[in-house]
Structure 1
Amino acid sequence: MTTLRLRPEGPADAEPIRRVLAGAFARPDLPVPPEVGLVDELRRSDAWIPELSMVAEYGGEIAGYALLSRVRVNPGQFPALALGPVAVAPNRQRIGLGASVVQAALEAATELGEQLVVVLGDPAYYRRFGFGPADRLGLTSPWSGLGEPWQALVLPPSVSGEAPVPRGEVVFPPPWSRV
């Protein structure tokens, strides 16, 4: 029986994560998918939260990855998180690793007292985690015009209580502008 281990990224995981991202987002017209560079740049920025960079080890190898990084909602600079990229090695897709690593990341964010996560992705996929249309929460972004793929999730309140969820423009750190 192959074992699954979900954990935050460690110092030796950067290269295996790059391979997972490169495989999951491979395109014949690009030698390196932009998601690889995005993660590398986010690691060097103040948007990086090491505890929220989650890997799925399957059979002793990193086969899945989900990143939550810092974004802000204006006005007021309210801290929130962006989910992505989420990737699973091509030879390990369709066995639940993506869902497992996303769920682990969301649980870690809840434990840290985070309140809001946004994502741009397939609504049918992300709905299972509780995401819904971000515009219903009054959240906009450069991707708002894409409609349903622009989604948000209000996390359960932590022991410290619940603050009102802000409305406004979600401001992404500079690395996101190159994706």
Structure 2
Amino acid sequence: MTTLRLRPEEPADTGAVRRVLAAAFARPDVATPPEVRLVEELRDGDAWLPELAMVAEYGGEIVGYALFTRVVVSADEHTAPALALGPVAVAPHRQRIGLGTSVVQAGLEAATELGERLVVVLGDPAYYRRFGFSRADRMGLTSPWSGLGEPWQALVLPPSTSGEPAPPQGEVVFPPPWSKV
């Protein structure tokens, strides 16, 4: 029986993660998909959270990936930490068997355990709704992608303690590598 293992990315996984991203986002007009470069640039920056770069290992092979990186929500002169989800990728030969869902769920659980409160994503609403994401603009969150409507989404994670303040509202500020996607 083939086993699925969900875990944070390790330094030795970099090449396998790159291959999964390149295969999942391959386009005939681009040698290296922007999602590959995004992960590589985020990996070298302050937004990188190694415990939230999740891989799906199936039968000893890395076949799935979900990245959660640091963003901040800025309102007036205050900022609050949040997470951006993406990219999410599954190797084409292992798609449509639930690996993407599994690796995202593992990342959301890890983020909750770490006390994170808010995750934003730009993606297919039908897919991300299964995790509880909904329109970010209706939660008072803006970004360069706010004008896209439904694909701009957010998820409030359960509080780690009672009495935590409400999740932040304001402009979500992404690290510079995101501007290239």
- What's the TM-score, normalizing by structure 1? 0.98
* Alpha-carbon offset, residue 32 of structure 1: 0.5
Aligned to 2:7: 7
Tell me: CA distance 1:177–1:10, structure 2 relative to 1, closer, same or farther (3 Å). same
* Corresponding residue of 1:150: 152
Deviations 1:43-93 (A, max 9, x none): 110000000000000011000000000000012121000000000000000
* Alignment partner, residue 95 of structure 1: 97
Separation in structure 2 between the aligned mates of residue 165 and residue 110 of structure 1, nearest angstrom? 13
Equivalent pairs counted in the alignment come to 179
Secondary structure of the residue that 2:27 maps to in structure 1?
coil
Greater Cα offset, 26-35 or 153-162: 153-162
Instruction: Label 1:161 to 1:12 Cα distance change in 2 as closer, same or farther (>3 A).
Output: farther
Corresponding residue SS for 2:45: coil
SS at structure 2 position matched to 1:77: strand
Q: Structure 2: where are the runs of 5+ without partners?
A: none
Distance 1:6 1:34 in 2: 25
**Structure 2 residue 86 is matched with structure 1 residue 84:** yes
State the Cα RMSD in Å.
Answer: 0.9
1:115 maps to 2:117: yes
CA–CA separation in structure 1 for the residues paired with 2:105 and 2:23: 22
1:1-179 correspondence runs (5 A): 1-75=1-75, 76-159=78-161, 161-179=163-181
Q: Could you tell me which amino acid in structure 1 is paired with residue 31 of structure 2?
A: P
What code does the residue aligned with 1:100 have? S
4+ runs deviating over 3 angstroms: none
Q: What amino acid sits opposite 1:14 in the alignment?
A: T
User: What's the % identity of the aligned pairs?
Assistant: 79
CA distance in 2, matches of 1:17, 1:161: 39
Deviation at 1:161, TM superposition (A): 5.0
Q: Distance between the aligned counterparts of 2:10 and 2:162, measured in 1? A: 28
- TM-superposed deviation, 1:159: 3.4
Against the structure 1 CA distance between its residues 48 and 161, is the aligned structure 2 distance closer, same or farther, given a 3 Å change threshold?
farther
Q: List alignment gaps of at least 5 residues for structure 1.
A: none
